[in-house]
Structure 1
Amino acid sequence: MSTNSLDPGTLLSVTLVKSGRTKISYPASAVSDDGTRLTVHAAWAGDGVRDFGFVRFEPGDVFTEHYWRDRWYAVKEVRAADASLKGWYCDIARPAVVRDGEVVSEDLDLDLWVSADGATVLRLDEDEFLASGLTARDPDAASRAEEALDELELLARLGKFTALLD
């Protein structure tokens, strides 16, 4: 276990960065931290309802977010206000940086949605990823991002996705 682990209940800020700019920052509370994976709880921090067509994020939703310091993704379990599971939204991102009461996750544009029953697995934003220029600018990061998306999709399609979060 790392000496940089956060104690359960520690309040922190989650900052999502995209293309070098802060996309959103919101409060969260640490659930667990083994020095590699940090899990936090946070309320839906968006303005109003965000309807993706396959899921709606809305006020009252609660996110259990898993950030790894050594993996190229973050996984967010999404529950409605009544605690029913909506599914998992996965951000393909550089390994998280945790310091000074903040977790910073740099979004690399690719995403994956896995429905609560596991029947729907959707690769998202591949057009944004291609348009980002990451492949030319940082081919290693682009390759790691694509590998991370493939890994998460395979786990979901094999029914082994939730084992990742145990």
Structure 2
Amino acid sequence: MSANSAEAGGRPPAPTEVDVVLVKGGRTKIRYRGALVSDDGTRLTVRAAWAGEGVRDFGFVRFEPGDVFTEHYWRDRWYSVKEVREAGGALKGWYCDVTRPATRSGTDLVVEDLDLDLWRSADGTDVRRLDEDEFAASGLARTDPGAAAAALAALDELEGLAREGGFEALLS
């Protein structure tokens, strides 16, 4: 046993990378590797490069190769908050996904996307709810009314935070 193992109480060191697994409709939508920044037992923070292929232009923001996402997931909240920066470090804004609470098994961090999203621009002048039509079409309100209510409450909470000055207090 090395000195470092002994100092850690004989436990192996925590992994420094995780695989973020975004599930939608029971299927893996995307899987990507990120650096585990922290895990306090409730909130996990991961830093990862833009995992999509090429450029994704939403009209109000473009995600592109080189962008860096600092992603915050909770085991007890129905959302994730992702700070988005250009490769040079300039803040683009925050993209929030409404999800079931995150789970972690080994190096897999699994989140189930519930079709609702929110965007807040870096300067806070653009706050927009996204994909409410997809959420309605998903049928979640019919198949799991409790989860649907939690998802809508999460979106309302995110919008309130975004309009009241941002996510800094939540993330500190």
- Tell me the TM-score range normalised by the shorter chain: over 0.9
Which residue does 2:3 correspond to in 1?
none
Runs of 4+ displaced beyond 4 Å: none
Offset at residue 161 of structure 1 (A): 2.4
* 1:86 matches 2:57: no
Which residue does 1:142 correspond to in 2?
148
Which residue does 1:28 correspond to in 2?
34
Larger-Rg structure: 2
Paired positions, count: 160
Q: What are structure 2's unaligned runs of at least 5 residues? A: 1-12
Letter in 2 for 1:74: S
Q: How does 1:12-161 map to 2 (within 5 A)?
A: 12-161=18-167
Distance 1:161 1:11 in 2: 24
Contact 2:21 2:31 in 1 (8 A): yes
Distance 1:41 1:120 in 2: 24
Letter in 1 for 2:45: T
Distance 1:143 1:111 in 2: 15
**What is the TM-score when the length of structure 2 is the normalising length?**
0.91
What secondary structure does 1:54 align onto?
Answer: coil
Which deviates the most, 63-72 or 155-164?
Answer: 155-164
What secondary structure does 2:88 align onto?
Answer: coil
Q: What are structure 1's unaligned runs of at least 5 residues? A: 1-5
What secondary structure does 2:117 align onto?
Answer: strand
**What is the TM-score when the length of structure 1 is the normalising length?**
0.94
